[in-house]
Every structure is written in structure tokens, then in C-alpha cells.
Amino acid sequence: FGFAVLGLVGSKTESQRTMSHYASLEISTRPSSGRPGSPHRYFGSVYDVRFPSIPAPAARKSLGPSDLSKMSESEKERSEPHLKQIVHKHVNGLCIITAGELLKAVCSSGDDAITISRVEFTKEESDGQSVGAKRKKARRAKSNRKKLDNEKGNTQPLDTLAIVTLSDGQKIDLKCCVQGTIIELNHRLDGKKRELVVDESANPSLLLSDPLLDGFLAVILPSGHFPTRSF
């Protein structure tokens, strides 16, 4: 009985620790558009992740409810005052990190056409292991949080995942959004060669043409629950 109580206390402590990593974020379920081919058809859940402490690039002044009700979805994205990204959660628990509609909104907000010049990842993929092995590794590392944070491929929600440079010189930091381990980076965006890939040219424009699917940033195996159980 005593061991069971200790287990419950340990579980509660771990849950509280996980919640603290997301305390500065606003996470909400993204409603389905109902359109064929939309990301909701491929994933179990889709979430908006807002960073209230980080202003959105080219942020607009605050608008009232009456103004927002008259706006299209793309116009609402352009008026978003804070950085917001979109995270897909697969039924197997993996999280697909995207830039959301952020870059599309920024690049289409001015009179002059703005394009994406370069994408630079600031994080690395975890050492080659199966997803199952990485899950076991993450569970073992929970007892040593400092080791977990410093290992290659590990992420915290506020960590910068990639830096996007626009043709007008503006640089935009995109965040990891999820605490966990990077399984895959989308090197179609930066053109870097991967194992078994002979040649691959950079195609950062995917962040504009298909930011929610082919233009995804990374696949992350969450450490703990995402979103937290209190969500």
C-alpha cells in the first residue's frame, strides 16, 4: 500500500512538472474546417499554440470583437497580436510541429511580395533509434531532468526550433511548442542532406504553399502529456 501511495505522489509530481513547462503557453483545440484534404483528416487532434510573451511578426493593433467577426480566417491570422503556431497530434502520440498560417499571413500582408529566403534549424534530430527505444529512453531520463534537457534532440516548448529569414530581411523564430524529443526535422525546408538522400534542394516555400502538411517543421515525441491532462 505504501508503495502505491508513493507511486501516486510521484505521478502527481511528474504531472505538475510537465504542466509547468506549458504554463506560459495558451493551448486550444483547433476546430475542423470540414474541407476534404484538411489536416484534421490525417491527425487525431489539432491545436493552436499561442505564446503570449512573444509578439507576432508584423503584429497589427488590437481589434474589437465586431471587427474580428467580419474577418476571414486569413485576415484573423494577420491580426494575431502574439506568435501562434499549430501542432498536429497523431493517434500514436507523436506531435507534428508547424508554423501554422503565420508566415503565409505575414508574407501576404504588405503591398510588395515577400518570400522566404532561408530556413535554418537550431535543433538537431535525436540519435537514430526506433520510436519505441526513444520512448523507453525518455521514461528512464525522467529521473534525471538535467540530463534529459541537455541530450541531443530534446526540446522545451519555448526553445527555438527554426529561424526563418524573409526576403525583406525580417527573421522569425519558430518554437518547438512541445517538451520532448525530435524524431525528424523536415529537411525539405533547408535542403540539408539526410541519410539515404543523395541530393535535395531547399524548398522553404512549402511554409507558404502547404504549411500544415508538407511544410511541417518537425516531428516530436512528447515527454509526458501534450496537452497536459488539465487541458
How does pLDDT run across 28-67, given as a tens digit for each residue? Answer: 998 876 565 566 667 889 999 999 888 888 644 443 444 4
Burial bucket for residue 190 (CB in 10 Å: 0-12, 13-18, 19+): middle
Sequence-ordered list of residues with C-beta below 8 angstroms from that of 208, at least 6 positions apart, any chain: 103, 104, 107, 115, 116, 215
For residue 93, the SS3 value is coil
Is the pLDDT assigned to residue 123 strictly greater than 80? yes
Taking Cα atoms as reference points, which of 176, 149, 182, 170 lies closest to residue 51? 176
Give the pLDDT confidence of 208-227 residue by residue, as tens digits: 999 999 999 999 999 988 98
pTM over 0.85: no
Residue 21 has pLDDT above 70, yes or no: yes
**Strands, E, within 70-186: which ranges?**
82-89, 95-98, 116-121, 154-155, 160-166, 171-175, 180-185
CA distance 139 to 57: 37
Q: Which of 66-70, 119-123, 134-138, 216-220 has the lowest mean pLDDT?
A: 66-70
